[in-house]
Structure 1
């Protein structure tokens, strides 16, 4: 008994530093931020931390600007994920074949995903530069445009350019997932379909796609959570502009806290983002269970 007790004490002594770190870095900030959502912590207006209940949630949810921000975030998420899936599946199907230089090509494709987000964002900011950007120079040499353009100059175009940067970076992740799923497919089924005279498109939609559906669902929910939290790409490229055309939820939460000094609003935005992610995760689980039954 004494030996077991000493072992338990030793185990607690070992894990106690880790528990303290987790509590200090993760748990306490989460709890403190949650408390801010029920207080008046708008320092720019002299907030005193007074308890105001659900007023912050009511104000934000009743604000038309919030729902426009949700719409921009949803657009960014939907278009980015759709393009990443299309490109990822196409590239994975190509890499699933045996050809010379395949390993080298896989290594090259993974490089964008390995680049840190802030470095990737800075690179794209240079590419899109209206005066000496690489994109303008390339299109001028190809005679596609006759003058330099400001690619981040209008709201919709700026959002689409941000999406291209996100797709470039995250498509390799989709390729890796899809390629691993393709490796688990039953090749005998493909061989039988070829013997039966099934064409390329028919084999893809009736054999390949059903194999990939579980992995597609995983990618969709994972990337949806990431795109709803996007910050660094927006921060480096557009700072939410022009005319708030790229203002998404993650950057709006940052703006409320660090620019407007409205801690309550920023905290409320953060927890609303978390709530949306939870709802999306629940929807994913229901879809996955429905596929399994």
Structure 2
């Protein structure tokens, strides 16, 4: 079989999948781009033909609520992803040690990751409850709180509490990826470093860290992308409130397009989110490429 025929067969095999991808992802993307330049409204279908050019994008960039949602999203991403990476690495280092019950503990760590996001959100909403919440009960019994507090009803704490719920669910992913990388480290290298007089920090920095930095970087990329487009946990726990303090960009897009039914402006918001996400991905891929070249 010639090289050309192999290529032809490959294209024939890939064709069904490519057709599905174009139909499922390509067509909606094209329609979103089109609607972003129109005054499309769900109540008035005829408005989808009213061309407005860049008006939707200019209004989006000048919308104070949209800029605020970007700020909320950045805070959520930085806080949750940083905590997930730190907690995941620490838990992986613990689970990599030899101790009785390690297998059971490894299984328990996976449980939050196995929970559906909606179930996780509902569970934490009950924990944060202002009347019968377990968190208020615990903190008042140990003397850290004088009275029950509405954690999700306070604009100063709501987004942080939602982020903590997200951290609890997703840090096991980082822990599992890091633990898999730790299993590849030769004990001979650690023992050699110990014989050379290296302390625990020096062994971690010079032996362990180089082995886990690439997998942890991949986890960082995955979690940043997922955290930036967070929607479901916000929708279930707070609906973007109170006073829009937990409204993220994805929730803002949802409200604009489906709650207010302004499809045109909602599409422009969605494209801005896509462009920001693409920029983040490009930066991460560049950093990973540089890391691979220096490794």
* TM-score under structure 1 length normalisation: 0.90
1:21-68 CA distances to partner (integer Å, 9 max, x unpaired)? 544433222221121111111457997121112221122123333222
Aligned to 2:32: 33
1:163-214 CA distances to partner (integer Å, 9 max, x unpaired)? 1000000011110000011112232221111001111112222322222211
**Unpaired segments of 5 or more residues in structure 2?**
none
Whether contact under 8 Å (2:89, 2:175) holds in the other structure is: yes
SS at match of 1:222: helix
**Unpaired segments of 5 or more residues in structure 1?**
none
Task: Tell me, in whole angstroms, the C-alpha distance in 1 between the residues paired with 2:104 and 2:213.
Answer: 28
- Structure 1 residue ranges, 4+ long, deviating more than 3 angstroms after superposition: 11-16, 18-25, 42-47
Aligned CA-pair RMSD:
2.4
- How much does 1:120 deviate? 0.6
Aligned to 2:206: 206
Task: Tell me, in whole angstroms, the C-alpha distance in 2 between the residues paired with 1:14 and 1:217.
Answer: 30
**1:228 and 2:223 are equivalent in the alignment:** no
Whether contact under 8 Å (1:44, 1:260) holds in the other structure is: no
Aligned to 2:127: 127
Number of paired residues? 286
- How much does 1:146 deviate? 2.2
Aligned to 1:183: 183
Aligned to 2:288: 288
Q: 1:27 to 1:192 in 2, by over 3 A?
A: same
Whether contact under 8 Å (2:66, 2:252) holds in the other structure is: no
Whether contact under 8 Å (1:40, 1:47) holds in the other structure is: no
Task: Tell me, in whole angstroms, the C-alpha distance in 2 between the residues paired with 1:22 and 1:249.
Answer: 25
SS at match of 1:280: helix
Task: Tell me, in whole angstroms, the C-alpha distance in 1 between the residues paired with 2:250 and 2:171.
Answer: 21
